[in-house]
């Protein structure tokens, strides 16, 4: 039995079962159907403006494979996968909203600090707080926010590849480090 916190990993056996379900018992035709459905899912996420649509399509397929491996009977694989992708899209949208509200909150707080402080003390606190982070977390947060627009996107892709994590995991790590850093800076500013 899997721990609820433990992430499910796609195995070769689970993938083979998925292809058999997609092919109605035939693995070869299941492979073709898999590629067709995956392409449709990628376009689904692209059309909705999701970053990394192929990653989201893969995550959808992994979730379907997990259900197949758990013994769920799937009569319409394409429809089932599309339903899973819609639920994943809701998760993505909610995650974006959480990030946006966190950024907005940070912006409001920074405006309040700028009104109280000339910024030099805040910068000193930020530098001191960065030094309290582990080297990995410090590198992660600095690289995550480095660059502008497409350069920032490329930096984040490289960071995902280097860490070997999907986009949502990277976002959550950055959010946690940012929150920890923000708390440290606020505490430092209140002492100053």
What's the pLDDT score for residue 4?
47
Q: Which residue intervals of the chain are DSSP H helices? A: 12-22, 27-47, 53-69, 77-116, 120-132, 135-144, 149-163, 167-191
CATH of the domain at 167: 1.10.10
Contact 61, 44 (CB under 8 A): no
Q: Is 50 exposed, middle or buried (0-12, 13-18, 19+ CB in 10 A)?
A: buried
Residue 42 token pair: 């990628």
62 and 121 fall within a common domain? no
162 lies in which domain range? 117-191
83 and 123 fall within a common domain? no
What's the pLDDT score for residue 108?
65
CA pair distance 110, 136, nearest whole angstrom: 25
17 and 84 fall within a common domain? yes
Q: Is 151 exposed, middle or buried (0-12, 13-18, 19+ CB in 10 A)?
A: exposed
pTM for the model = 0.52
What's the pLDDT score for residue 2?
47
Contact 29, 49 (CB under 8 A): no
Per-residue pLDDT of the chain (192 residues; tens, 9 = 90+): 444 456 778 889 999 999 999 988 888 899 999 999 999 999 999 998 888 889 999 999 999 999 999 999 898 999 999 999 999 999 988 887 887 777 777 666 655 555 555 567 888 888 888 888 888 888 888 888 887 778 888 888 888 888 888 888 888 888 888 888 888 888 888 886
């Amino acid at each position: 039995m899997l721990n609820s916190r433990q992430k499910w990993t796609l195995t070769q056996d689970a993938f083979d079962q998925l292809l058999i379900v997609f092919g109605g018992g035939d693995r070869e035709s299941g492979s073709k159907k898999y590629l067709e459905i995956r392409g449709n899912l990628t376009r689904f996420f692209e059309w909705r403006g999701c970053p990394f649509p192929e990653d989201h399509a893969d995550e959808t397929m992994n979730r379907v494979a997990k259900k197949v491996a758990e013994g769920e009977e799937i009569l319409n694989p394409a429809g089932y996968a599309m339903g899973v992708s819609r639920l994943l899209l809701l998760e993505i949208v909610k995650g974006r909203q959480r990030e946006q509200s966190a950024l907005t909150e940070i912006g409001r707080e920074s405006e309040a600090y700028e009104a109280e402080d000339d910024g030099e003390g805040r910068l000193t606190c930020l530098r001191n707080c960065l030094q309290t982070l582990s080297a990995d977390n410090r590198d992660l947060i600095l690289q995550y926010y480095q660059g502008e627009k497409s350069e920032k996107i490329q930096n984040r892709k490289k960071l995902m590849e280097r860490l070997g994590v999907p986009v949502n995991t990277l976002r959550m790590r950055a959010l946690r480090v940012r929150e920890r850093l923000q708390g440290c800076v606020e505490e430092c500013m209140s002492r100053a």
